[in-house]
Amino acid sequence: MTASRNITVTEADYLRIIIHGTTAFELLRTGLEFDLFERLEAAGGMTVEETAEAIGVEPQPARILLLGLASLRLLEKADDKYVNSALVKRKVLRDGERFLGPLIDIQARIINASLVDFAESMRQNTNVGLRHIEGPGPTLYERLTAHPELQKVFYDNMGDASKRAFAQILDQYDFSGIRHAIDIGGGDGTNSIELARRYPDLEVTVFDQESVTRLAADRIEDPDLRKRVHFHPGDLFADALPEGADAILFFHIFEIWSLERNTELLRKCHDALPEGGVCLVYNFVSDDEGTGSMSAGLVSPYFLTLASGEGMTYSPADMEQAVRDAGFSRVERHAGLGFSHALVVGHK
């Protein structure tokens, strides 16, 4: 494989990757578990025997792992040594440009077991796959409160993804006219902290479950940020939103719920804002045609099967219509953003 960022496979191999997708994932995850990619990089490549010794297994299992990873083009052969591909150097090494470890971790420890229930979730139109995680509540987010370790895995990934996607919205939208923003479903506070850091006169309130806001509060060390980033525990559906804000951030929530429930939530945001207030809906999206992207297509079953039993990756047109239906008088749409995101702004 060359240094090109395009990987070409035959039609037959494309189907093999789909059919044997669980095996492909486990090859990658196991390589990470044994710290194989970091070891190969440090050594400048290793033979089968060297790999077996380095990761503490017999040569036969090591050979199986190396063969599988090389067949997936994650490893290459240089003379008698296996070395990391350019893709691994960018995406799988911890100091690469986009380390995907948190995403692989959440997929392995939380999501994969539930997806065997996708068909039954379609029949029942609810998240049947939630049965794999014990605990209170009808959504993954509530169930995770009974599993602090898994909750941390979940929010480590969400925080990592949000940090990368949020950086671009700071370059696309001017927050200088906002005095106080509510970050509903703000998770571990990644977005709020970065927003307050960029705009030193801005206050931000994270509104989320109590167990999540507790995690978020522990992350802030800067005294100035502690004064301006607040944490308000509550239930988005049952509790009133915090008062005194002129903007509401509806970030990475839209994909969780049905269009009807999103409209209901956005109407609640509209009612909580003063005249002239804004609601910013920022989310990972599909295309308007309903044919892609591949990421949107592969992520959507998770929302039906596990997360909430009703969401999916929606299009920018869906977001815009929901904001209008919620009562906002003027709506602007910023599509074609990086990371397959779109921003829809509703003005009251």
Residue 275 burial (CB count, 10 A)? 8
Q: Which amino acid is at 265?
A: L
Higher pLDDT, 2 or 67: 67
* Residue 217: per-residue pLDDT: 67
Residues comprising the chain, all counted: 348
The whole-number pLDDT of residue 215 equals 65
User: What pTM was computed for the model?
Assistant: 0.90
Mean pLDDT, the chain, rounded, equals: 93
CB 270 within 8 A of CB 328: yes
The 10 Å CB-count burial string (b at 16+, else e) for 151-174 is: bebbbbbbbbbbeebbeebeeeee
C-alpha closest to that of 159 among 234, 102, 100? 102
User: Is residue 79 classed exposed, middle or buried when 0-12, 13-18 and 19+ CB atoms within 10 A define those classes?
Assistant: exposed
- The letter for the amino acid at 343 is L
* 280 vs 68: CA distance, rounded Å: 44
pLDDT (tens digit per residue) in 77-92: 999 999 999 999 999 9
Burial of 58 (0-12, 13-18, 19+ CB in 10 A): exposed
Confidence class for position 111, pLDDT limits 50, 70, 90: very high
Question: pLDDT of 249-299, one tens digit each?
Answer: 999 999 999 999 999 999 999 999 999 999 999 999 999 999 999 999 999
What is d(CA 32, CA 101) in angstroms, rounded to the nearest whole number?
Answer: 8
User: Is pLDDT at 142 greater than 80 in this prediction?
Assistant: yes
Q: How far is CA 301 from the centre of its chain?
A: 14
Residue 178, pLDDT > 70, answer yes
Confidence of residue 1 (pLDDT cuts 50, 70, 90): very low
pLDDT for residue 348 is more than 60: yes
CB-based contact 110:154 (threshold 8 Å): yes
